[in-house]
Structure 1
Amino acid sequence: MKTVLNLVLAACVICLVYICYGSIMGPINFDNAKKTREKAIIARLIDIRKAQQEYRTVHNGAYTANFDSLITFVKTAKLPFIMKVGSLTDDQLNNGMTEKKAMDLINKAKKTGNWSEVEKEGLQNFRRDTMWVAVMDTIFAKGFNPDSLAYVPYGNGAKFEMAIRQDTTKSGAPLNLFQAQVAYDVYLGDLNSQELINLKDMQSKLGKYCGLRVGDIEQPNNNAGNWE
C-alpha cells in the first residue's frame, strides 16, 4: 500500500513539474517562434512596400491592389536613373543657371553643333544622362524571386491582403494610399492557442490591428509598418 502511495505521489510530482514547466516555457516558446516568423514576414512586407513605391512612380502616383500586376511590374519594368557628371558652381547658380537651363543649352548645342554658349557658361564638363535600369536590378538583391511577394512566410500558402484607396484631400489634391497585411491567425495559428488568444486580446484592447501591416488606407502614414 505504501509503495502504491509513493508511486501516486511521484506521478503527481511529475505532473506538477510538467505543468509548471509548461506554464513557464509556453509563453517563451511562443514568443521566440513569433519573433522568428515575424522577422521573415516584415522583410516580405518591406519588399512589397519597395515595389509599390516604385510602381507609383510610373503610374501617376497610383498603387495597385493586385499582386499579379505588382509582380509583373517588378519582373519587366524599367526605371529612369540619371547619371550625373559635374556640378554647377556657386557663381553659375548666383547668375541664375539651373540644371535644366544647363541641359537645354547642351542639348541645343548637340543639335546645332554650335558649342559657343556652352563654353561661355563653363558647362563643357557638365552632363546629365538618363539611363533605364530594370526594377529587379535596382531595388532588390540578386536572386530575389518576385513571385514570392504575395505569399506569407510560415503561412502555409496564404497570401497577404492588399488594398488601395484613391481619393482627394480637402484641398483637392489627389490621395493615393495602400496597405498590405496579414493577421496573427494566419502565421501563428499552429502555435499555443491560449498565447495567441492573449496576444489578440491585448492588441484589441490597445486598438491595434491583430497582425502585421504596412501602409494604411484609412489615413496617410508614409507607408510605415505597424512594427516601426
Structure 2
Amino acid sequence: MLLLILYVIITCLVAIGLVKLIDKFLPSGARIVVSILLWAATAFIAFLIYSSIMKPIEFEKEKDNRYKAAVQIMIDLKKAQLGYKTIHGEYADTFEKLVNFIDTEKFAIVTRRDTSIIDVAKNKAYNIVTDATGAGGYFKDIVIKDTIGYVSVKDSLFKNNDRYKSLNVVKYKNVEVPVVMKTSSVIRNETKLPVFQAVIDKNALLVGLDEELLAQENKVEDINEINGPEITLGSLVEITLTGNWPKRYGSNE
C-alpha cells in the first residue's frame, strides 16, 4: 500500500512538472515531443500502479488454489487413516500400507438391532426364579450385531477415483510438495491410544510466488487463514484429527 501511494505521488508530480514545462518554457514545436513523453511516463507509472494493486490479488488467488489442493490431500488422508484404524486398531505408518489397504481390504456391513434378554445375574442376586420366558424377573437391553456382507474399502472411500494412490504428495501444475506423515501413541487414563500427524510445508507449496508476500503469509495470525509455516493434520501429542486450516478450504473436523 505504501508503494502504491508513492507511485501516485510520483505520477502527480511528474504530470504537474511536465505541464508547467510545456506551457512556460518550451516552444510550440517541442511541445508535441514533450506531450508524447508525458503520455509515455503516465502510462508507465499507471502500469506500475496497476501491477502493485494486482500483485497481492494474484498472490491470494494462486495461494488459495494451492491450499485447496493441499487440503484435499489432507482430507483424503484422514479418510483413509480412519478406515485403516477401523479395521486394524491403529494408523498406518506408511503410505504404502494405506494404498495396499484401500486396494485389497474390505469393510464388513453390519446391522444392529436392539433386544431384551433375561438378566440372569440380577434375578439370581434378588433370588427371583422365572420360567423360560423370564416373566416376573428382570431383563436387560442388548445390541445384537450381524454381518450381512462386505464392501471393498476402495468402493466405500474412493469410488470412481484413484486420488488415494498419491496421498504422499501435493501436485498443482508444476509444483510438487511431499506430505510428511508420522504415527505414534499417547497414554490416556492408562490406555495406549494411536495418533498420527501429517504436515505440508507452506513455503514449498507457494514456491515461485512473490517473496515479500510469502514472508507476510508465514507470519499471518488470523482464524480465517492457515497460521504458521505448515499445513497440519492431527497431532503426535494430542488425540485429534483436526486440521489447522479454515473451513473455506475444506472440512477440518
- TM-based fold match above 0.5: yes
Are 1:203 and 1:210, in contact at CA under 8 Å, matched by a contact in 2?
no
- Give the aligned residue type for 1:99: V
SS in 1 for 2:231: strand
| Corresponding residue of 2:242 | 224
Quick check: which one's strand share is greater? Answer: 2
Separation (CA, whole Å) in 2 of partners of 1:158 and 1:183? 8
Contiguous gaps of at least 5 residues in structure 2: 1-29, 117-133, 246-251
1:138 to 147, 156, 160: 156
1:190 to 201, 208, 226: 208
1:75 to 103, 107, 115: 103
Structure 2 residue 92 is the aligned partner of structure 1 residue 64:
yes
2:115 to 80, 85, 88: 88
Contiguous gaps of at least 5 residues in structure 1: 104-127
Change (3 A) 1:2 1:44: same
Higher relative CO (CA 8 A, sep ≥ 6), structure 1 or 2?
1
SS in 1 for 2:175: coil
| Corresponding residue of 1:98 | 142
Change (3 A) 1:58 1:174: same
Could you say which structure has the larger radius of gyration?
Answer: 2
Change (3 A) 1:4 1:184: farther
Structure 2 residue 230 is the aligned partner of structure 1 residue 211:
yes
SS in 2 for 1:41: helix
- 1:4 Cα deviation from its structure 2 partner: 4.2
2:53 to 18, 24, 35: 24
- 1:166 Cα deviation from its structure 2 partner: 2.0
Separation (CA, whole Å) in 1 of partners of 2:35 and 2:80? 66
TM-score, scaled relative to structure 2: 0.67
Are 2:186 and 2:237, in contact at CA under 8 Å, matched by a contact in 1?
no
- Give the aligned residue type for 1:69: K
SS in 1 for 2:183: strand
TM-score, scaled relative to structure 1: 0.73
Separation (CA, whole Å) in 1 of partners of 2:139 and 2:203? 63
Separation (CA, whole Å) in 1 of partners of 2:115 and 2:185? 40
Alignment deviations for residues 52-102 of structure 1 (CA, whole Å, 9 cap, x no partner): 111122223x21231111111111121222035x6538xx9x8324234xx
- 1:207 Cα deviation from its structure 2 partner: 10
Separation (CA, whole Å) in 2 of partners of 1:20 and 1:141? 49
Are 2:199 and 2:232, in contact at CA under 8 Å, matched by a contact in 1?
yes
SS in 2 for 1:96: strand
Identity, % of aligned positions: 25
| Corresponding residue of 2:41 | 12
Bigger CA drift: 47-56 or 153-162?
A: 153-162
Are 2:219 and 2:227, in contact at CA under 8 Å, matched by a contact in 1?
no
- 1:203 Cα deviation from its structure 2 partner: 4.8
- 1:17 Cα deviation from its structure 2 partner: 1.1
Separation (CA, whole Å) in 2 of partners of 1:157 and 1:183? 11
Number of matched pairs:
196
The root-mean-square deviation of aligned C-alpha atoms, in Å, is 3.0
